[in-house]
Amino acid sequence: MAWLLVVVAGILETGFAVCLKLSHGFTRLWPTVAFATFALGSFGLLTLALKRLDVGPAYAVWTGIGAAGTAIYGMIFLGDVVSTLKLVSISLVIVGVIGLQLSGGAH
């Protein structure tokens, strides 16, 4: 259950990163409100998960999901540049996240 919280928190991290860009420096109301909502949800779920998980693997999985998700979203919906190197690098992040998730034990 704790790892599920980390995964959802990572997805919410993608949401807050995208909304941060869309807020244009907090000058647009609804993207700013969405950023705050996603950020609070993401940090809140990560905090709950850390009651049961080691901080290193949990934090790395959280940031890895957020980073990969944000990069993929940017390429699909925001016109970010797509390159072979970028896709390979995102794949390596995902493989690393899976490896860290498998290595992290709950206490």
Amino acid at 27: T
Q: Please give the chain's pLDDT, 107 residues, in tens.
A: 999 999 999 999 999 999 999 999 999 999 999 999 999 999 999 999 999 999 989 999 999 999 999 999 999 999 999 999 999 999 999 998 888 778 755 55
Q: Which two tokens stand for residue 84?
A: 């072979």
Q: Which of 27, 26, 15, 28 is nearest to 77 (CA)?
A: 15
CA 100 from chain centre, in angstroms, equals 15
Q: Does residue 25 come out as left (phi exceeding 0), alpha (psi in the -120 to 50 range) or beta?
A: left
Query: How many angstroms separate the CA atoms of 77 and 72, rounded?
Result: 8
pTM for this entry: 0.89
Tell me if 91 sits within 8 A of 36, measured CB to CB. no
